[in-house]
DNA sequence: GACGTTTCTTGAACGTGTTCAAGTCCCGGA
DNA sequence: TCCGGGACTTGAACACGTTCAAGAAACGTC
């Protein structure tokens, strides 16, 4: 119903009617309308993993693995682009249980981070040990950035988001490789300690 | 009223009553409740500029200027942290006129970007010509990131956000300096062309 | 089968943002 | 002074998300 009518026009009364129950009963199973989206959220996480699986099984290079997972994420989200705005609207609020940073959605978040951990672990990339530990979370954060761009992407078929992925992946790949360079070591360490400070 | 009661509890009826008019009349002057926030938005922009002015007049180094402007931004926003979540909630929706990327809020956005242009222009920093042109917008984007972090920052007095600024500014400063390095030239150009591709 | 308790279900009712037909005010021109 | 049209103002009405007291069903225990 979300996909067909959008978020606003999918009323709780309509949802209840479609389910063949009374309005109030919907609130027995879901705390609020927002919580209906959370179901959605968890579903796309699983699908993301499934769609990304073949690429992760096939590719060994860091760049193609990362690109594969990012593209898979956008692939899964694609059908919902029209109402993803409202999705994002509620997710952006810190107090919302839907926020990707909230404790309530820590399960799907961990699953998503694990996906990026796999991207790195299964690759042949060589990098700083400390960076290796932190990078998956950073990649996930970058993925959140991609989604944020995608939500605002008005280009037909969200081509720009694809360009973003294809453009940023080799850059990240390059930077990860450079991180072991002597000139950049101090910057790398500086960045990593900052990240550790800011993590809650 | 927003500050005292928060966004949700500031009803349009209460706003109208406080203004001494009927409910419907509020909608003659403001298209929606969200548009009340936009007024707020424009106001803080002006204040940001005012608070940042002394620092920009005093400092000449790129790092202290950037840090000053970023801290000024957080200073101005500070009193509204409790309800900034809802603020952000509506701003995150792409279709919302409140979105910092929307055409409707292009005026305050331009003003904000100009502030970061001033950060760079008034500094003694030496950097790649093309980067010099693009950097202000990137700094603004980074500022949006700082605000995003600030909104989610639950630490007392939002200390973490201050640490983020103090940690990230020298990093940016260092990277900007390194951008002229021979080893990093290709990466810099690669990043810049990507950015130009993605800009609408 | 009868009971008490928990789980589930109902739909009216509340407060909200928003709309709109109707009305009032204001001001320039005949 | 009157008229006409635009600017402003009103508050009832609408649809929505959400709550809640009341009831129905299911279940375990004797």
Query: In the 3-class helix/strand/coil scheme, how is B57-124 assigned residue by residue?
Result: HHCCCHHHHHHHHHHHHHHHHHHHHHHHHHHHHHHHCCCCCCCCCCCCCHHHHHHHHHHHHHHHHCCC
Top pLDDT among A73 and B106 is at A73
- Non-local (6+) Cβ contacts of B184 within 8 A are A178, B178
Sign of CA dihedral A22, A28, A33, A35: negative
Interface test with B, best of A152, A161, A188, A193 (most B CBs within 10 A): A152
- Mean pLDDT for B96-108 is 79
Nearest of B81, B198, B195 to residue B147 by alpha carbon:
B81
C-alpha–C-alpha distance, residues B27 and B40, integer Å: 17
Longest dimension (CA), chain A: 66
C-alpha–C-alpha distance, residues A8 and B147, integer Å: 28
pLDDT over 90 percentage in chain B: 64
Can you read off the two tokens belonging to residue B76? 């101005």
* pLDDT > 80? residue B105: no
Nucleotide with smallest C1' distance to residue A33 CA: D17
Nearest of B98, B101, B80, B113 to residue B35 by alpha carbon:
B98
CA-to-CA separations, A29 to A35, A93, A106, A142, in angstroms, rounded: 10, 23, 20, 34
C-alpha–C-alpha distance, residues A34 and A125, integer Å: 40
Nearest of A53, A190, A147, A150 to residue B168 by alpha carbon:
A190
Can you read off the two tokens belonging to residue A176? 């990860």
pLDDT at B136: 96
Q: How distant is the Cα of A57 from the closest Cα of chain B, in angstroms?
A: 29
- The string of DSSP codes covering chain A is -HHHH-TTTS-HHHHHHHHTS-HHHHHHH-SSHHHHHHHHHHHHHHHHHHHHHHHHHH--SHHHHHHHHHHHHHHHHGGGHHHHHHHHHHHHSTTSTTSTTSSTTHHHHHHHHHHHHHHHHTS-----HHHHHHHHHHHHHHHHHHHHHHHH--SGGGHHHHHHHHHHHHHHHHHHHHTTSGGGHHHHHHHHHHHHHH--
Query: Can you tell me whether residue B30 is helix, strand or coil?
Result: coil
Q: Dump pLDDT digits (tens) for A38-87.
A: 888 888 999 999 999 999 999 999 999 999 999 999 999 999 898 888 87
Can you read off the two tokens belonging to residue A140? 């996930």
Mean pLDDT comparison of A20-24, A81-85, A90-94, B4-8, highest-scoring range: A20-24
Nucleotide with smallest C1' distance to residue B22 CA: D10
- Mean pLDDT for B117-126 is 95
* pLDDT > 90? residue A146: yes
Enumerate the residues of chain B whose CB falls inside 8 A of the CB of residue A178: 183-184, 187
Enumerate the residues of chain A whose CB falls inside 8 A of the CB of residue B95: 85
pTM check: above 0.85: yes
Q: Do residues A87 and B89 lie in contact, with contact meaning Cβ atoms separated by under 8 Å?
A: no
* pLDDT > 70? residue B200: no
User: To 5 degrees, how large is the angle CA A186–CA A188–CA A189?
Assistant: 65
CA-to-CA separations, B118 to A76, A197, B122, in angstroms, rounded: 42, 30, 6
CA of B33 to C1' of C22 (A): 24
pLDDT tier, B180 (very low <50, low <70, confident <90, very high otherwise): confident
Q: Do residues B81 and B19 lie in contact, with contact meaning Cβ atoms separated by under 8 Å?
A: no
* pLDDT > 90? residue A103: no
Residue whose tokens read 């404790």: A103
C-alpha–C-alpha distance, residues B130 and B156, integer Å: 40
Q: Do residues B150 and B77 lie in contact, with contact meaning Cβ atoms separated by under 8 Å?
A: yes
Residue of A nearest to B189 (CA): A171
C-alpha–C-alpha distance, residues B44 and B41, integer Å: 5
C-alpha–C-alpha distance, residues B2 and B42, integer Å: 15
Q: Which residue is nearest to nucleotide D7 (CA to C1')?
A: B28
Say how many Å lie between the first and final Cα of chain A, rounded. Answer: 37
Interface test with B, best of A167, A172, A193 (most B CBs within 10 A): A167
Q: Do residues B8 and B86 lie in contact, with contact meaning Cβ atoms separated by under 8 Å?
A: yes
pLDDT at B96: 78
Statement: the CB of B24 is under 7 Å from strand D:
yes
The size of the A-B interface in CB pairs under 8 A is 91
Residue whose tokens read 């978020």: A7
- Non-local (6+) Cβ contacts of B78 within 8 A are B158
What size, in residues, is chain A? 200
């Amino acid at each position: 119903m979300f996909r067909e009518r959008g978020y606003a026009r999918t009323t709780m009364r309509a949802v209840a009617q479609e389910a063949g129950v009374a309005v109030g009963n919907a609130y027995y199973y879901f705390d609020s309308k927002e919580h209906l989206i959370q179901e959605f959220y968890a579903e796309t996480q699983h699908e993301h993993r499934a769609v990304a699986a073949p690429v992760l099984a096939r590719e060994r290079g860091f760049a193609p693995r990362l690109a594969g997972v990012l593209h898979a994420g956008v692939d899964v989200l694609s059908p919902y682009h029209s109402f993803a705005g409202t999705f994002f609207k509620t997710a952006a609020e810190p107090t919302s249980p839907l926020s990707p940073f909230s404790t309530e959605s820590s399960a799907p978040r961990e699953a998503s981070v694990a996906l990026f951990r796999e991207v790195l672990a299964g690759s042949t990339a060589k990098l700083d040990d400390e960076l290796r530990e932190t990078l998956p979370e950073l990649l996930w954060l970058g993925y959140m950035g991609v989604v944020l761009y995608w939500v605002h992407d008005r280009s037909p078929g969200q081509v720009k988001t694809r360009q973003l992925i294809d453009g940023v992946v080799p850059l990240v790949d390059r930077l990860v490789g450079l991180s072991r360079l002597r000139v950049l070591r101090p910057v790398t360490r500086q960045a990593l300690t900052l990240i550790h400070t800011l993590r809650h």
